[in-house]
Structure formats: structure tokens, C-alpha cells
């Protein structure tokens, strides 16, 4: 190992630990040892400290023990002449650095809870962690890059980050070079930052890099089901990150002592460091999969070199279009001042529709634009739009139309400068001036769709062609055909029941992060992430017979009320690595389905109310059970089977099979207002089916009650049916 790296990392660790101690002493004198401390919206206390030491720090005075432990990890600062042939001392100093950095950051929140200012995001909430979970497990986000410092120019900063975005790599930003951060360079170029665009600027100083690492440890706890207790579990969490979280550090510009110390901390996770400046290298393997520190790497080669060193396998299939493309752009928004042209929403009539054709009816790859294009409209203008996609394939089935059509949103959204919201005849599309000036035209919608349908669904799509209409008379002419097809599909899916099929589908997409979790998807119970229903599972198996969605033969029915079958139990045992023995599809109380952490909602029993409450991801308020969503999620996720708690997709709430073993729909006594309003029509329809059309008004939300003491009088006042149902427990 390099003597220079060791010396500078150890020296940097001493510096950061000293600063943490000084900050702690100042806060202690101002606030006192009993002052409450913590990061916003997390159930994991101080996540890095909790993960590594098992300590549930909630008061300022409790930091004393962590600081003492950090100090004990520090090696003496060696002479420049000393040669250190191993990583041990440096790695320990790296861990001490990370403990100290988390202390510094949480003390910033204690000193001023509103210290985070744009463009910085500060701490990542548990809700966002879980929201990103589905991207982690389904491959849309194959890796992480923590960028420290700044590029030599704004143009090079944009080029670097765009290269990472096109590869769907999440970008964390911390630190600066000579007072400039790459986040500030991106702001100068008007690049949108945030979780939606895969660019997360944590903070301008190097200490904010801890947010990337406490994100990583929470991933292990949330999706891996690892519970911190001591050194063994800490090692498991670090190994989990090495094997499953494909992260690396890109160090730009001068690497000072404190950056060396922080990099040493990251290496403990198996995250290598790739620098564009000439710092000493560590080319031996050991803690990291391959090399630990690689330099100097030219900026235009640094992304590919980082991917190589981390051992990532990334396949890029960029359609031939004049703008960047990748899932990092899916959440990009086109603001009014950036707008070139828009379609649908409140400004024009628009729809998208995909249908199956015979092989001889399609000219593969053909794109027709019938009507004015975007360059004929003044900036900020609008046009009507019909996107009609026709596909053919020897294995194509009509049931697959809706699945392929649903992907139109994803495929178009991934073009930089294109904003796509909604589906069917409720779409809203915007194209930016930047995309228009780069040469993007409506034909490129067709190019994208043809390219992606053929590459993503090769087993069922042999041919694809696209027609795009922008004249109102043409849009109105074709819309009735599309609406008739939408209605027919809805009827076809609604007619499917668990009883009239012999096969369910398993889903183990999330096992990359929750090794023992398995979803069983039935016609009346979609996956807990909300993204996969029974038809999706069927299509996925047809598309990839060796993929994560496999048919599950129900076999002999063991319990029709609770929803238990011999064949399902066998698959659950096998797919859960024999961690589970059985599974009840319709029960929340006995052998319920496990959760990985990607659930849209959590359902949990409120014994005093003889019912259940439902809270959706993103709700940060208190609930009648006395826990926030984040706290609840800590108990439900990680592939655990927890009686009284289940993670669900939101549409399952109106299913005929929703916890039907315990009385079903009428057990819902509380749900968030957002959820209630978002599902309003479906909730009303289900209530009418059950002969209780006023039932929705009897479900409380946070405007009525946030405690059980507030909830019970309301339920009695409205005569909620759950109060007269058989006891849940």
C-alpha cells in the first residue's frame, strides 16, 4: 500500500474526528445532553452508526460513546518515510471518519433544522429510499457513483454526468474543488437535479458524503433484512454492499487529506475510488472486487474505467435519436420557460394506443408523421396528438397489448427533454426547446418505440411500426377505436378471478436486495410494488421463460378462505431459500405474504378499532398506530413474514380478495387522505358492490384522527361496520 495514501488518509481522519468533537462540545454546552437529535423521516436513528454499532442514538449526550470509539480507531499519523504494506490502519481510520461525518451532519440539523438550501438535498428520507427500491431491484439503476469535487469546466461536468445518466447510474454529489462543486456547475448549465433525474446533490462539503453511505447501509437493512446488533451484523452489512450495491467513487480535482479519509471509509464497503488527478494507486485486490484506487484517468474515460473497476455489466441500447437517452431522464420535467411544444393534458386532445396486427400488415421500423411537426409551432405552443403503435409477432397475444402499451410511458420519458405523464387518452407530453434545437422531432417518438419494443420484447415482438397524427380531425377519427379497446381490456382483466385460473405467477425481482422475499401474484392480488399484475407475470414468463416471473401451479387447495394451496406453498418454500413454510394469500393475521420494502402501501391491524389502517409511501405524518410510514416499513420489509402487517400495491385495496379471510374491505378504518382521493372512484365502486355506498365517508384520514384516541369516537359516531365484525385478534 502507498505510504502517501496511508499518511494522508490517517491525517484526514484525525482532522474530521477533531472537528466532530469540537462541534459536539459546542452543541453540548448550548443544548445539553438530553437534546433530541436525529435525521428527518427515518426509522434508522443515525443510520451509519446504527448499522455499524447497533446503537439507537436519540439524545445528544449519547454521541460521547461514538466519538470515543472513533478516536480508538485512529492510528497515529505516520511519518512520510513509513511504508504501510496493508490496508488495516487506513480502513479503520476510514470508518472513524464516517462515524465523525455522520455526527457532524446530524449536529447541523440540531443547530438549524432548515440549514439545507438549494441545490443541496441533505439527508435522504426512508420514503425516498423505498421509492427508489424498485429501480434498484428491477435493474433500472444498476449502480451508484459518488462524485467528489468539480470538473475542469461546466461543459465537462455536463458530459460526465450525462454519460452516467445514460447508463442509468445514480449520481451522488458531495464535496468541492477549490470552493466549486460539480452540482453548482450543473446548475449553471440548467441541468435538473433530484431523485427523478438520478442526480442527488447532498452537500458542498466532504462530510455530506456520509449520506451516500448511510443510504447504502439502509438499503442492506431495508431490502436485505439485516438487523444491526454488533460486529458480525456490521460485517454482513458491509459485505452485502460489496456484493449487491455496485457503487464507486469518482474523485475530481485535488484530493486533500479529508477526501482521502472519506475515500478510505468508502473502500470498507467495497466501493473503489477512481480519480482524474495523479494520486497514488492501490492496485491490489482484497476489500474491493478489483483495484481499490485507480489514477490518473482522463475525464472522457473515467466512466468506462469506473464501470470496469467496479465489475459492472451495463448494456446500452440507445435509440438513434439526437438527444441523450436513459432511465435517468424518466423523471425529468419540462418547465414552462423551457417548453417548445406540448400535447394533451389541459391544452389539447391526445392519446396513445398499441394494437396487435398480422405479420403481413406491418412494415417493420416504419414511422409516419401525419400533420404538422414540432418545428412548425411557436415555442410554448400545443398540438393534438395520436400515437398509434402496431406490433406483430409469432408469439404475440392480445393479452400482451396493454402490457406493451404501458411501456410507451417509460420509453418516451427516457429521452432527455421529453416529459410524458399518464397513459391511454389521459396523456400529457412536453418537449423542451433544448431537445427541439438538438433536432428532436415527432418521428423520433416512433424511432424510440420501434427500437425499444423490438429490443425489450424480442420473444413476442417481431415487427413494429408507428403512426403519429397531429391534426385534430385525425385524432378524433381514431380515438373511438382506442377507447373501445381500453374498455375491452378492462373487462377482460376484471373478469379474471383467482378461482378460474390454475396458475399464479411468482416474482423474485426484489431478491437482488431481499434474498428471501417472494411475491405470489394472482388475478386478484397484484405485486406489492404495484407494477406487476397477473397478466404482466404471464407476459413476462412468455417473454423470458428463465426470468424472475415463473408460473406457479396452484395444486390442491388447503384452505379456500385464507387462500392457501399446496403448489403455492412448495414454490414459496423453494423461492424463499426455505425461510418460509407456507403462505396465505387472503390473510393479514396468519402466514401473510412477505415484503421486500418496495411496497406502495402498508396495511396494519389496529386492535382497538377491530380494523386495519392503510398508509402509503411518501406520507410522512403520524398514524393511529403511533408510527410513521418509515417506522412501520422497518418492521414490514426485508422479506419478513409479520402477522398483522402486510405491504401491498394500492389497487389491491379494492380487490374482492383484500384480506378477505378477516372480513376484507369493511375492515378499513383509516387511510391517508391522498390515498383516499387517489382511489376515490374505485373505493366507491367497491363499496357499492358490497351494498354500503356511504362506506367511504366512514373511513377516517389524518384530517380526522392521527391517534387511536381520536379515531375511536369517530368510528362510533359514523357506525363503522368494523366495530360490529368478529374480533380480529
Confidence of residue 423 (pLDDT cuts 50, 70, 90): confident
Paired residues of 388 in beta bridges: 353, 467
710: three-class secondary structure by DSSP: helix
Q: Alpha-carbon distance 622 to 418, whole Å?
A: 37
Phi and psi (nearest 5°) for 80? Answer: -60, -20
The residue-averaged pLDDT of 541-554 equals 88
Q: What is the pLDDT of residue 327?
A: 81
Q: Alpha-carbon distance 729 to 727, whole Å?
A: 6
**Is a pLDDT exceeding 50 seen at residue 596?**
yes
Q: What is the mean pLDDT of the chain?
A: 91
Pair 351, 475: CB distance under 8 Å: yes
Q: What is the pLDDT of residues 261-287, one digit of tens each?
A: 999 999 999 999 999 999 988 887 778
Q: Alpha-carbon distance 457 to 391, whole Å?
A: 11
667: three-class secondary structure by DSSP: helix
Q: What is the pLDDT of residues 315-364, one digit of tens each?
A: 667 899 999 998 888 878 899 999 999 999 889 999 999 999 999 899 99
The residue-averaged pLDDT of 634-649 equals 86
Pair 348, 383: CB distance under 8 Å: yes
- For residue 548, what are the contacts with CB-CB under 8 A and spacing of at least 6? 506, 507, 508, 509, 511, 540
Location of C-alpha cell 448499522: 51
The residue-averaged pLDDT of 451-473 equals 93
Domain 503-724's class? alpha beta
Q: What is the pLDDT of residue 83?
A: 43
Q: What is the pLDDT of residue 82?
A: 43
The residue-averaged pLDDT of 532-553 equals 86
Q: What is the pLDDT of residue 361?
A: 95
- How is the chain split into domains, by residue range? 3-136+206-307, 333-484, 503-724
Per-residue DSSP letters for 257-300?
HHHHHHHHHHHTTT--EEESS----B---SSSSS-SEE----GG
- CATH T-level topology, domain 333-484: 3.30.1650
Q: How many angstroms from the chain centroid is the CA of residue 492?
A: 31
Q: Alpha-carbon distance 310 to 322, whole Å?
A: 30
- For the full predicted model, state whether its pTM sits above 0.75: no
Q: What is the pLDDT of residue 479?
A: 97
594: three-class secondary structure by DSSP: coil
Out of 2.40.50.140, 3.50.30.10, 1.10.8.190, 1.20.1050.40, the CATH code matching 3-136+206-307 is 1.10.8.190
Amino acid at each position: 500500500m502507498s505510504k502517501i495514501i496511508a499518511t494522508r488518509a490517517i491525517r484526514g481522519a484525525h482532522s474530521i474526528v477533531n472537528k466532530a468533537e469540537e462541534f459536539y462540545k459546542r452543541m453540548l454546552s448550548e443544548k445539553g445532553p438530553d437534546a433530541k437529535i436525529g435525521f428527518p423521516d427515518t426509522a434508522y436513528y443515525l443510520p451509519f452508526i446504527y448499522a455499524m454499532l447497533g446503537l439507537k442514538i436519540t439524545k445528544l449526550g449519547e454521541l460521547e460513546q461514538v466519538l470515543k470509539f472513533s478516536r480508538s480507531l485512529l492510528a497515529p499519523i505516520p511519518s512520510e518515510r513509513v511504508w504501510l504494506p496493508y490496508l488495516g490502519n487506513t480502513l479503520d481510520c476510514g470508518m472513524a471518519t464516517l462515524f465523525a461525518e455522520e455526527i457532524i451532519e446530524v449536529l447541523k440539523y440540531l443547530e438549524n433544522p432548515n440549514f439545507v438550501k438549494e441545490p443541496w438535498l441533505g439527508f435522504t428520507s426512508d420514503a425516498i429510499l423505498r421509492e427508489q427500491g424498485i429501480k434498484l431491484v428491477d435493474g433500472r439503476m444498476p449502480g451508484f457513483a459518488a462524485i467528489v469535487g468539480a470538473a475542469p469546466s461546466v461543459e465537462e461536468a455536463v458530459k460526465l454526468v450525462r454519460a452516467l445518466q445514460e447508463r442509468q447510474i445514480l449520481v451522488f454529489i458531495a464535496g468541492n474543488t477549490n470552493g466549486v462543486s460539480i452540482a453548482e456547475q450543473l446548475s449553471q448549465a440548467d441541468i435538473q437535479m433530484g431523485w427523478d433525474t438520478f442526480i442527488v446533490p447532498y452537500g458542498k462539503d466532504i462530510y455530506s458524503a456520509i449520506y451516500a453511505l448511510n443510504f447504502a447501509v439502509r438499503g442492506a437493512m431495508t431490502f436485505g433484512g439485516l438487523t444491526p446488533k454488533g460486529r458480525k451484523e456490521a460485517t454482513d452489512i458491509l459485505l452485502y454492499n460489496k456484493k449487491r450495491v455496485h457503487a464507486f467513487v469518482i474523485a475530481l480535482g485535488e484530493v486533500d487529506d479529508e477526501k482521502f479519509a472519506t475515500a478510505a471509509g468508502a473502500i470498507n464497503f467495497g466501493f473503489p475510488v477512481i480519480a482524474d488527478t495523479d494520486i497514488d494507486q492501490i492496485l491490489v485486490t482484497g476489500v474491493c472486487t478489483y483495484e481499490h484506487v485507480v489514477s490518473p484517468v482522463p475525464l472522457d474515460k473515467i466512466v468506462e474505467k469506473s464501470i470496469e473497476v467496479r465489475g459492472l455489466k451495463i448494456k446500452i441500447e440507445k435509440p438513434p435519436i439526437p438527444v441523450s437517452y436513459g432511465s435517468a431522464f424518466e423523471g425529468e420535467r419540462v418547465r414552462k420557460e423551457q417548453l417548445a411544444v406540448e400535447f394533451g393534458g389541459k391544452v389539447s386532445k391526445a392519446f396513445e394506443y398499441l394494437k396487435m396486427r398480422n405479420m403481413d400488415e406491418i412494415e417493420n421500423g416504419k414511422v409516419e408523421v401525419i400533420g404538422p411537426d414540432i418545428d412548425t409551432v411557436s415555442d410554448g405552443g400545443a398540438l393534438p396528438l395520436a400515437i398509434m403503435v402496431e406490433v406483430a409477432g409469432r408469439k404475440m397475444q392480445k393479452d400482451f397489448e396493454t402490457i406493451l402499451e404501458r411501456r410507451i410511458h417509460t420509453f418516451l420519458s427516457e429521452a432527455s427533454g421529453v416529459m410524458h405523464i399518464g397513459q391511454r387518452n389521459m396523456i400529457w407530453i412536453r418537449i423542451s426547446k433544448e431537445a427541439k434545437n438538438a433536432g428532436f422531432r415527432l418521428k423520433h417518438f416512433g424511432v424510440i418505440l420501434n427500437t425499444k419494443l423490438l429490443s425489450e420484447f424480442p420473444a413476442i415482438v417481431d415487427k413494429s411500426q408507428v403512426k403519429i397524427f397531429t391534426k385534430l380531425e385525425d385524432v378524433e377519427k381514431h380515438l373511438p377505436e382506442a377507447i373501445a379497446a381500453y374498455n375491452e381490456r378492462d373487462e377482460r382483466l376484471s373478469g379474471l378471478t383467482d378461482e378460474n385460473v390454475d396458475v399464479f405467477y411468482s416474482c423474485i425481482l426484489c431478491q437482488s436486495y431481499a434474498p428471501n422475499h417472494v411475491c405470489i401474484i394472482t388475478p386478484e392480488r397484484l405485486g406489492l410494488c404495484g407494477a406487476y399484475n397477473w397478466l404482466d407475470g404471464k407476459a413476462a414468463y412468455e417473454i423470458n421463460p428463465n426470468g424472475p416471473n415463473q408460473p406457479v401451479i396452484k395444486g390442491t387447495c388447503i384452505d379456500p378462505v385464507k387462500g392457501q394451496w399446496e403448489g403455492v406453498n412448495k414454490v414459496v418454500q423453494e423461492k424463499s431459500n426455505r425461510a418460509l413454510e407456507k403462505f396465505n394469500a387472503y390473510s393479514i393475521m396468519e402466514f401473510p405474504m412477505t415484503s421486500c420494502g418496495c411496497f406502495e402501501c402498508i396495511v396494519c391491524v389496529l386492535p382497538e378499532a377491530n380494523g386495519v389502517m392503510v398508509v402509503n409511501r411518501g406520507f410522512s405524518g403520524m398514524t393511529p398506530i403511533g408510527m410513521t410510514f418509515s417506522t412501520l416499513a422497518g418492521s414490514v420489509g426485508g422479506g419478513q413474514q409479520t402477522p398483522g402487517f402486510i405491504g401491498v400495491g394500492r389497487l389491491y385495496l379494492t380487490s374482492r380478495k383484500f384480506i378477505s379471510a378477516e372480513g376484507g374491505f369493511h375492515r378499513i378504518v383509516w387511510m391517508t387522505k391522498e390515498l383516499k382521493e387517489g382511489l376515490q372512484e374505485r373505493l366507491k365502486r367497491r363499496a357499492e358492490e358490497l351494498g354500503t355506498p356511504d362506506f367511504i365517508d366512514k373511513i377516517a384520514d389524518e384530517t380526522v384522527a392521527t391517534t387511536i384516541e381520536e379515531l375511536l369516537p369517530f368510528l362510533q359516531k359514523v357506525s363503522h361496520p368494523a366495530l360490529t365484525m368478529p374480533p380480529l385478534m
